[in-house]
């Protein structure tokens, strides 16, 4: 059990497999007619979202509700935060209201760690995305999806040893890429990053990855999964590529490129997608695409994370 989930960095294989196995159990309950479990009855979980994110917020709400927790969703827009209230003030207010768990999404890298370690709240903290730092539950549901596609009902106890995953696109601004790098490699997969030079971080020496700028070469190497990342225009403060058309030509997963992948290769995207830019619509809707499975698997994974964090030991 863990008291917070802030990052996948430092995950061991055993911790990752155990959490994925709990997610399998949670996902199994969602195929029953009555999907609710009494596990977190009497606890209050606050979704504290300082950024817009419809799919992540709804996924966490569904996960908490299906564990019978009371759920409060807090949006920074139109709140006291928009009037200048600090994260400290907000956290202390939630503590006074009796929040047992806080799921936080914030534009500043490190915000989740600050909330968890500041002493402002005794609640368990789950990082739902902080700046360009990490998005651990997205990486967990991505790993869950790969494992499920590979091993089906025989997934429990298995890792991703020997699998090759290519992550393509806006690596520089991607918290999804960072969380996936640590988690997938902890599970035994190899990770190769592909992006224009302007969208590759300059300091990757300590990362357990290989990097490149040639998507076609990576495709022809026959990876087991290709994860396309959204071009995050909202985080870009300058021009990182000349035109959208040029980016799509060099780094978009077109139908022609997808057709060169091995038949068993998966195509992934954390969403929301820019169809026609980083991925062709026909590829996103193809049988090898896991886009909708990732969304579906997100509920079971987040149920497992909330269970793990809310039943962990924290200082009183």
Q: Tell whether 15 is in a known binding site.
A: no
Q: Could you say which of 66, 135, 164, 178 is catalytic?
A: 135
Q: Tell whether 223 is in a known binding site.
A: no
Q: Tell whether 269 is in a known binding site.
A: no
The reply to whether 54 belongs to the active site is no
The reply to whether 135 belongs to the active site is yes
Q: Tell whether 230 is in a known binding site.
A: yes
Q: Tell whether 121 is in a known binding site.
A: no
Q: Could you say which of 57, 105, 133, 257 is catalytic?
A: 105
Q: Tell whether 158 is in a known binding site.
A: no
Give the C-alpha distances (Å, rounded to integers) separating 285 from 84, 89, 171, 275, 279.
43, 44, 24, 10, 10
The reply to whether 105 belongs to the active site is yes
The reply to whether 56 belongs to the active site is yes
The span from the CA of 163 to the CA of 231, in Å, is 25
Among 30, 25, 23, 28, smallest CA distance to 5 is for: 23
Q: Tell whether 106 is in a known binding site.
A: no
Q: Could you say which of 35, 36, 41, 55 is catalytic?
A: 55
| SS3 (DSSP) at 144 | helix
Q: Tell whether 12 is in a known binding site.
A: no
The span from the CA of 221 to the CA of 262, in Å, is 9
Q: Tell whether 164 is in a known binding site.
A: no
The reply to whether 9 belongs to the active site is no
Q: Could you say which of 44, 56, 132, 185 is catalytic?
A: 56
22: number of Cβ within 10 Å: 18
Q: Tell whether 138 is in a known binding site.
A: yes
Edge-to-edge strand order for the sheet containing 44-49? 4-5, 124-130, 101-106, 44-49, 70-75
| Preceding omega of 127 cis (within 30 degrees of 0) | no
Q: Could you say which of 83, 202, 203, 243 is catalytic?
A: 83
Binding site residues for carbamoyl phosphate, as ranges? 55-56, 105, 135, 138, 271-272
- What residues are labeled active site? 55-56, 83, 105, 135
Binding site residues for L-aspartate, as ranges? 83, 175, 230
Binding site residues, as ranges? 55-56, 83, 105, 135, 138, 175, 230, 271-272
């Amino acid at each position: 059990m863990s008291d917070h989930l802030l990052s996948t960095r430092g995950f061991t294989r055993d911790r990752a497999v155990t959490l994925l196995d709990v997610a399998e159990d949670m996902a199994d309950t969602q195929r029953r007619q009555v999907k609710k479990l009494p596990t977190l009855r009497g606890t209050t979980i606050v979704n504290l979202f300082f950024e817009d994110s419809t799919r992540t917020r709804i996924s966490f709400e569904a996960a908490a509700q299906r564990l019978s927790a009371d759920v409060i969703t807090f949006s920074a827009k139109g709140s006291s935060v928009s009037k200048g209230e600090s994260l400290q003030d907000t956290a202390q207010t939630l503590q006074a209201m009796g929040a047992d768990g806080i799921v936080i999404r914030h534009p500043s890298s490190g915000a989740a760690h600050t909330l968890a370690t500041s002493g402002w709240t005794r609640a368990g903290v789950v990082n739902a995305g902080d700046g360009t730092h990490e998005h651990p539950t997205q990486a967990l549901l991505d790993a869950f999806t790969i494992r499920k596609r590979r091993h089906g009902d025989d997934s429990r106890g298995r890792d991703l040893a020997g699998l090759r995953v290519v992550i393509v696109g806006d690596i520089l601004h991607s918290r999804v890429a960072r969380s996936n790098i640590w988690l997938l490699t902890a599970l035994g997969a190899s990770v190769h990053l592909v992006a224009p030079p302007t969208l590759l971080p300059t300091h990757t020496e300590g990362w357990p990855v290989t990097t490149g700028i040639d998507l076609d070469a990576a495709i022809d190497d026959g990876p087991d999964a290709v994860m396309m990342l959204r071009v995050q225009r909202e985080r870009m403060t300058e021009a990182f590529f000349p035109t959208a058309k040029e980016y799509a030509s060099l780094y978009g997963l077109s139908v022609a490129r997808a057709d060169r992948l091995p038949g068993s290769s998966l195509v992934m995207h954390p969403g929301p997608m820019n169809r026609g830019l980083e991925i062709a619509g026909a590829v996103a809707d193809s049988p090898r695409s896991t886009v909708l499975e990732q969304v579906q698997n997100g509920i079971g994974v987040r149920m497992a994370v909330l269970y793990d964090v809310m039943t962990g030991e924290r200082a009183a």
